[in-house]
Amino acid sequence: MRITNSMLVNNMISNLGKNLSRMEKYQQKLATGKKISVSSDDPVVAARALKLRTDVSQIEQYKKNVKDAMSWLEITESAIADVGDILQRVRELAVQASNGATTPEDTKKICEEVKQLKTQLVNLGNATYAGRHIFSGFKTNQKLLNDDGSFAIDVDSTEVIIYQIGIADSININVTGGDFFNGGGTATTGAFGTIFEDMDNFITALDNGDYDVINETLGKLDIQQNNLLRIRADIGARYNRLELTDNRLGNDGLNFTKLMSENEDIDQAENIMLLKSEENVYRASLAGGARIIQPSLVDFLK
Amino acid sequence: MNPGFFGLEIAVRGLYTAQRNLDVINHNVNNINTPGYSRQIANQSASRPIALLNGTGMLGTGSDVTGINRIRDEYLDFKYWSENTTYGEWECKKALMADLEVTFNEPSNSGFSTMLDEFFNSLQELAKDPGSEAVRALVKERGITLAKYFNNMATHMEELQVDLNHQINTKVNRINSLGSQIQQLNKQIYRSELDGNVANDLRDQRTLLIDELSKLVNIDVHEVVAGKLPNGKEDKRMLITINGKPFVDHYDLTKLAVKQRADKLNPEEDVVNLYEVMWEDGNSIQIRGGELKGLLDIRDGNEGENGSPLYKGIPFYIKKLNQFVRVFAQAFNEGIIGGVDMEGHADGIGADNSTGVRFFTMLGTGNLPMSSSDFISNPDCYNELTAKNFCVSSDIINDISKIATSDTPDQIGNIENINKLIKMRNNTHMFTEGAPEDFMKSIVSNLGIDSQMAVRMSANQNAMIRQVENQRLSESGVSMDEEMANMVKHQQAYNAAAIMINTMSEIYDILINRVGL
- Whether A233 is in a domain gets the answer yes
Residues A166-188 have pLDDT tens digits of 888 899 999 999 899 988 888 89
B457 at A interface, C-beta within 8 A: no
Nearest CA in chain A to B31: A6
- Whether A29 is in a domain gets the answer no
- Name the DSSP letter for residue B516: T
Band (pLDDT 50/70/90 cuts) for residue B226 is confident
The HSE-up count of residue A176 (CA atoms within 13 Å, CB side) is 25
Q: Is the pLDDT of residue B136 over 70?
A: yes
Specify whether the CB–CB gap between B1 and B49 falls below 8 A: no
- Whether A86 is in a domain gets the answer yes
Query: What is the pTM for the complete model shown?
Result: 0.87
Band (pLDDT 50/70/90 cuts) for residue B11 is very high
Q: In whole angstroms, give the CA distance from residue B89 to residue B82.
A: 11
Task: Output the pLDDT for position B144.
Answer: 95
> Which of B120, B412, B422 is the closest to A139 by Cβ?
B412
Residues A81-97 have pLDDT tens digits of 999 999 999 999 988 88
- In B, which residues are within 8 Å of A54 by CB distance? 113, 116-117, 437
A21 at B interface, C-beta within 8 A: no
Task: Output the pLDDT for position B441.
Answer: 87
A38 at B interface, C-beta within 8 A: yes
β-partners of residue B64 are B45
- Whether A36 is in a domain gets the answer no
Average pLDDT over residues A186-195: 90
Contact assignment for B479 to A2 by CB distance below 8 Å: yes
Where helices occur in B46-111 by DSSP H, the ranges are 74-104
Convert B154-179 to b/e letters by CB count within 10 Å (16 or more is b): bebbbebbeebbebbeebbebbbebb
Angstrom CA distances, B409 to A188, B343, B359, B406, stand at 17, 16, 18, 7
- In B, which residues are within 8 Å of A5 by CB distance? 32, 477-480
- Whether A221 is in a domain gets the answer yes
> Burial, A24: exposed, middle or buried (Cβ in 10 Å; 0-12, 13-18, 19+)?
exposed
Average pLDDT over residues A18-38: 91
The HSE-up count of residue A180 (CA atoms within 13 Å, CB side) is 32
Minimal C-alpha gap between B100 and chain A (Å)? 10
Angstrom CA distances, B453 to A42, A212, B287, B502, stand at 11, 92, 21, 72
- Spatial CB neighbours of B113, under 8 Å, sequence gap ≥ 6: A50, A53, A54, A57, B106, B107, B437, B440
Q: In whole angstroms, give the CA distance from residue B185 to residue B190.
A: 8
Biggest distance spanned by C-alpha atoms of chain A: 140
B380 at A interface, C-beta within 8 A: no
Q: What number of other Cβ atoms are within 10 A of residue B412's Cβ?
A: 19
Task: Output the pLDDT for position A278.
Answer: 94
Nearest of A119, A19, A129 to residue A70 by alpha carbon? A129
Residue A68 lies in domain: 52-260
Nearest CA in chain B to A160: B414
A65 at B interface, C-beta within 8 A: yes
Q: Is the pLDDT of residue B347 over 80?
A: yes
More confident: B509 or B168: B168
Residues B359-412 have pLDDT tens digits of 999 998 888 999 999 999 998 999 999 999 999 999 999 999 999 999 888 888
Residue type, B436: P
B356 at A interface, C-beta within 8 A: no
Of all residues in chain B, the percent with pLDDT exceeding 90 is: 73
Q: In whole angstroms, give the CA distance from residue A45 to residue A50.
A: 9
Task: Output the pLDDT for position A104.
Answer: 81
Q: Are strands A169-172 and B275-279 parallel, antiparallel or unpaired?
A: unpaired
Q: In whole angstroms, give the CA distance from residue B35 to residue B38.
A: 9
Contact assignment for B411 to A138 by CB distance below 8 Å: yes
Nearest of A15, A11, A8, A7 to residue A278 by alpha carbon? A15
Band (pLDDT 50/70/90 cuts) for residue B2 is low
Residues A208-263 have pLDDT tens digits of 888 888 888 888 999 999 999 999 999 999 999 999 999 999 999 999 999 999 99
Band (pLDDT 50/70/90 cuts) for residue B440 is confident
Of all residues in chain A, the percent with pLDDT exceeding 70 is: 99
> Which of A39, A41, A53 is the closest to B113 by Cβ?
A53
- In B, which residues are within 8 Å of A7 by CB distance? 470, 473-474, 477
Residues 200-239 of chain B whose Cβ lies under 8 A from any Cβ of chain A: none
- In B, which residues are within 8 Å of A159 by CB distance? 411, 413-414
Band (pLDDT 50/70/90 cuts) for residue B302 is very high
- Whether A299 is in a domain gets the answer no
Average pLDDT over residues B439-449: 90
Angstrom CA distances, B54 to A128, A271, B4, B50, B60, stand at 139, 88, 17, 12, 15
A255 at B interface, C-beta within 8 A: no
- Whether A77 is in a domain gets the answer yes
Task: Output the pLDDT for position B1.
Answer: 41
Residues B311-332 have pLDDT tens digits of 999 999 999 999 999 999 999 9
B406 at A interface, C-beta within 8 A: yes
Q: Is the pLDDT of residue A145 over 80?
A: yes
Residues B192-212 have pLDDT tens digits of 988 878 899 999 999 999 999
- Spatial CB neighbours of A275, under 8 Å, sequence gap ≥ 6: A23, A26, A27, A30
Q: In whole angstroms, give the CA distance from residue A57 to residue A49.
A: 12
Residues 28-47 of chain B whose Cβ lies under 8 A from any Cβ of chain A: 32-33
> Which of B120, B470, B480 is the closest to A298 by Cβ?
B480
Specify whether the CB–CB gap between A134 and A126 falls below 8 A: no
B474 at A interface, C-beta within 8 A: yes
Average pLDDT over residues B465-486: 93
Chain CA centroid to CA A143, Å: 26
Task: Output the pLDDT for position A294.
Answer: 66
B444 at A interface, C-beta within 8 A: yes
- Whether A9 is in a domain gets the answer no
Q: In whole angstroms, give the CA distance from residue B514 to residue B508.
A: 9
Contact assignment for B129 to A162 by CB distance below 8 Å: no
Average pLDDT over residues B66-78: 93
Contact assignment for B455 to A40 by CB distance below 8 Å: yes
Specify whether the CB–CB gap between B314 and B388 falls below 8 A: no
B499 at A interface, C-beta within 8 A: no
Sign for the CA dihedral angle at B30, B34, B39, B42 comes to negative
Specify whether the CB–CB gap between B429 and A31 falls below 8 A: no
Q: In whole angstroms, give the CA distance from residue B110 to residue B502.
A: 88
In 3-state terms, chain B is what percent helix, strand and coil (to 5)?
Answer: 55, 15, 30
Q: Where are the beta strands (DSSP E) in B1-121?
A: 40-46, 50-52, 57-59, 63-70
Task: Output the pLDDT for position B3.
Answer: 58
Angstrom CA distances, B421 to A55, B301, B350, B376, B398, stand at 18, 35, 14, 19, 21
Q: Is-cis flag, bond preceding B107, omega within 30?
A: yes
What is the CATH classification number for the domain harbouring A110? Answer: 1.20.1330.10
Q: How many domains does chain A have?
A: 1
A7 at B interface, C-beta within 8 A: yes
Average pLDDT over residues A272-286: 93
Q: In whole angstroms, give the CA distance from residue B106 to residue B211.
A: 38
Contact assignment for A162 to B478 by CB distance below 8 Å: no
